[in-house]
Structure 1
Amino acid sequence: MAGARFVSELSRRHFMAWALGAGAAVALGGCVESSTRREPKGSTVTLTFWNGFTGGDGEYIKKLVEDFNKATPGIQVKMNIYVWADFFQKVPGAVISGQAPDVCVMHVDDIPTNAARSILVPIDDLAQELGLKASDYTSQEVWQGGLYQGRRYGIPFDMHPLGMFYNKAVLRRAGLDPEKPPRTGDEYMAALEQLKGKGIPGHWMSPFPFTGTFQFETLLWQFGGELFDPEVTRATFDSDAGVRALTWMVDLVKKGYSPANVGQDADVIALQNGENAFNWNGIWQINALDEVPQLEWGVAPIPRIGTQDAVWGNSHQFVLLRQRSPSKERLAAARTFIQWMSQRSVEWLASGKIPVLKSVAESPEFKAMKAQVQFARQAPYIRFPPAVAGIADALAMVDKAVNQAVLGKASPADALKSAAAQATQVVRDNHEKYGD
């Protein structure tokens, strides 16, 4: 699943500037009409629902939609699942042509760009009708993640953060306690040193966004740094905190705690094969590891390497697309669907997610999910990208810096300095393009 997500993330970052450019914005400006289409009374309302759940979570979303259709004969949902790159290519065209789906799911870092281009419509009224408020959520970051320029465009469905998977058999082989994974930087380095003494490179450092970039961002925040200044007019990830974070990563390779030139997904494959002890990866790996025969594995929060707790994460959120002919009945049906799905999010969490609602996080059903519960311990300090349009293009510069430094093509300081200069130019161009 991580490999698919890697391709999707890169595709999203490079696609948004093209698909949602000035031409699309001009076309969208004339596609909204004030007329309201009415469905015949007593008829079944059919909703279209698009998402990018092509991985293992696809079967879970299909089951939820099937259950909804059985429970609500007056509302039937027709779902289309696309790989994320195709999803973002189809959405603007669907809106322009007047064939937009009724409900979609997007990541928090996709919402600002689509909102700025009028692909999405504000849903403050919908959130209010559903009685949603910040205090209901396990993380203020996830609640704020659905906002753009003070308006709500997304309703949180889940969070999916980074966590630390570990191979219990490998730890046992190195004389480490498989039931006490390291929690601090000192404990982590001591464990890596002990593993190295047994000939085991304990942490295979990925030079790719999945999950090298996510590890860098986690460490940057742990060391007290930020990706950008508060107004997102200047990249600041080349700060002392950024250099410390990336140097820590590069030193894992230099000091023999990680092999060089780790391929995409080679880190998690090594964990499965008993060649690796620790793997910082996304919660989406839970079900994949469960399917590996005789693998003894555990999961814990990312250790605090820096001075404070922080971890990279993202969130799927429900959004509504701009319709050429809005329908009150379809909007009401969409509200019912979103509310129904949110209330049954425990079933969705089994796909490899953590809850956004406190009521779900405190439920016996969720507490029985041992792996997800470990990830959820990080909920109070999960961090998301800044909510500004075009941010994915600027974050692509972070990917570049991590790749160059981990592969030994540039020093951490030089790689970050060059990437930050480019990212600063990107965000300044975006402010002009999107009017943030």
Structure 2
Amino acid sequence: MKKALGAAAVAAAAALALSACAGGGSQNASANSDASGTISYWLWDANQLPAYQQCADDFHKANPNITVNVTQTGWDDYWTNITNGFVGGNGPDVFTDHLSKYGDFVKNNQLLSLDDAVKADNVNLGQYNKGLADLWVGQDGKRYGLPKDWDTISLFYNKDLISKAGLTADQVGSLSWNPTDGGTFEKAIAHLTVDTSGKRGDEAGFDKNNVAVYGVGLAGSGASEGQTEWSWLTGTTGWTHTDKNPWGTHFNFDDKKVQDTITWFHSMIDKGYMPKLETTVGASMPDAFGAGKAAINANGSWMIGQYFGYKGINVGIAPTPTGPDGKRASMYNGLADSINAATKNPAAATKWVEYLGSPACQDVVAAKAVVFPAISEAADKASAAFKAKGIDVTPFTQQVKDNTTFLFPITENAAKVDGIMKPAMDAVFSGKSPASSLTDANSQVNALFQ
């Protein structure tokens, strides 16, 4: 998912950004400035495109002198295009930014700071869910984004497969886990796994090499974050990705807690309860779920619409299992909109970013019932919109209310960290290396910060 910039590209991008922003932030413009012209806005989520196109149309009606051209591309192509745009000088004026990316953008002087605009235009940072606005303040103390939404992790499950296995929604919603024997979570996964002869994973004669329905799906190895893959398990052990967050400079993949967790999780593959890593390449975990080939998928709240869009699949949502510490855990991620330091129209770009971060736009997003907007009241409206569709999103929102979340790891060198950790994790999940091999990878990662 993450691609590192080559040394020449980094140098070129840094030089371009430095010349464009004249020292990082001097072009910061108030939305009250005389703003006009056409600006470009990029995002990667096709499910959110209709909402943001409406926001762009509404914004133009309120500001006839400004036109916003919205472009959507898939995740991988999106970041390649952003990187190339920074280097070539043809990137977007405004774009949806990610916590795993912006640290390196700031380091390379590629983002416009928003501090002067926030102050001059009296932007209410207190309207956002607790902590979201703080995530977008860089190590230099400057703000580089206004929050747009947030997400957590829960379990999507096939109600019909659960019922056929003799399990209830209450049982799925109260599972527990530990790295020693897997707890009731492993028992449920085993029982929900069915081979091509109809034998369940906990029955004699189960054939792990010929599985028709897996108890739990797998999207990949999780690289350095494991957001939807395993972080909701490691988060219950007391383990943390880095020494501090945000802006940690020391990773902890040499810790026994994470290695024991990954060892257990990989054992689900060995036992035949979860797909082999090689089968996930080029495949879609949600689509496998939609085809009835998996009973449970751990995934993010941004995927609600997709899971409930599969015909013939009766979907439920359950909270992640409690762990050794007796609590649940979920990574808490929050996106924001940032301004390209090379924009030729900082005034209009700033006005658009402030609109994206306002109730006027976030209420529109909420009504579409796709994601949870960053503004607290808008997030509540989104929950109500989901409920109107017959979807109970409590497992996602409860993590925030119960304070059982932890931040997506925010560091510099994120692309390089992933460049080391992805092959290391792939080796473990493919059975080529034990989880203890993560210690060596961890040393390589920490050397990036020395």
Task: Assess same fold via TM > 0.5.
Answer: yes
1:175 aligns with 2:166: yes
* TM-score, normalised by the number of residues in structure 1: 0.81
Partner of 2:340: 321
* Pick aligned residue for 1:378 from 399, 404, 413: 399
Summarize the alignment of residues 305-384 of structure 1 with structure 2, pairs less than 5 Å apart.
305-307=323-325, 308-323=327-342, 328=347, 330=348, 333-334=351-352, 336-340=354-358, 342-349=359-366, 350=368, 352-363=370-381, 365-366=384-385, 368=387, 370-379=391-400, 380-384=403-407
* Pick aligned residue for 1:191 from 160, 179, 188: 188
Residues 161 and 427 of structure 1: is their aligned pair in 2 closer, same or farther, counting only changes over 3 Å?
farther
Residues 280 and 70 of structure 1: is their aligned pair in 2 closer, same or farther, counting only changes over 3 Å?
same
Alpha carbons 2:288, 2:294 under 8 Å: kept: yes
Summarize the alignment of residues 44-123 of structure 1 with structure 2, pairs less than 5 Å apart.
45-91=36-82, 94=85, 101-123=92-114
Alpha carbons 1:169, 1:178 under 8 Å: kept: no
Residues 221 and 396 of structure 1: is their aligned pair in 2 closer, same or farther, counting only changes over 3 Å?
farther
More helix by share: 1
> Post-superposition shift, 1:119?
0.7
Alpha carbons 1:137, 1:143 under 8 Å: kept: yes
Partner of 2:13: 24
Partner of 1:294: 312
State how far apart, in whole Å, the 2-side matches of 1:372 and 1:123 are: 33
1:172 alignment partner AA: S
Deviation string for 1:7-41 (max 9, x for gaps)? xx2xxx22345575123223433334599899xx9
State how far apart, in whole Å, the 2-side matches of 1:397 and 1:202 are: 30
1:387 aligns with 2:406: no
Mark the runs of 5 or more structure 2 residues left unpaired by the alignment.
178-182, 193-200, 207-212
Residues 324 and 358 of structure 1: is their aligned pair in 2 closer, same or farther, counting only changes over 3 Å?
closer
> Post-superposition shift, 1:284?
3.2
Summarize the alignment of residues 134-149 of structure 1 with structure 2, pairs less than 5 Å apart.
135-140=126-131, 142-149=132-139
State how far apart, in whole Å, the 2-side matches of 1:179 and 1:189 are: 16
SS, match of residue 14 in structure 1: coil
Alpha carbons 2:259, 2:436 under 8 Å: kept: yes
1:189 alignment partner AA: E
Residues 420 and 253 of structure 1: is their aligned pair in 2 closer, same or farther, counting only changes over 3 Å?
same
* Pick aligned residue for 2:299 from 281, 284, 289: 281
1:22 alignment partner AA: A
Summarize the alignment of residues 1-40 of structure 1 with structure 2, pairs less than 5 Å apart.
9=1, 13-17=2-6, 21-32=10-21
* Pick aligned residue for 1:131 from 106, 111, 123: 123
1:421 aligns with 2:443: yes
2:117 alignment partner AA: L
State how far apart, in whole Å, the 1-side matches of 2:86 and 2:225 are: 35
Alpha carbons 1:47, 1:77 under 8 Å: kept: yes
1:256 aligns with 2:278: no
* TM-score, normalised by the number of residues in structure 2: 0.79
Mark the runs of 5 or more structure 1 residues left unpaired by the alignment.
1-8, 429-436
State how far apart, in whole Å, the 2-side matches of 1:355 and 1:335 are: 14
> Post-superposition shift, 1:153?
0.8
> Post-superposition shift, 1:52?
3.0
Deviation string for 1:197-240 (max 9, x for gaps)? 37653113443439993223332222111222237333212201
SS, match of residue 299 in structure 2: strand
Query: How many residues are aligned here?
Result: 410
State how far apart, in whole Å, the 2-side matches of 1:17 and 1:343 are: 40
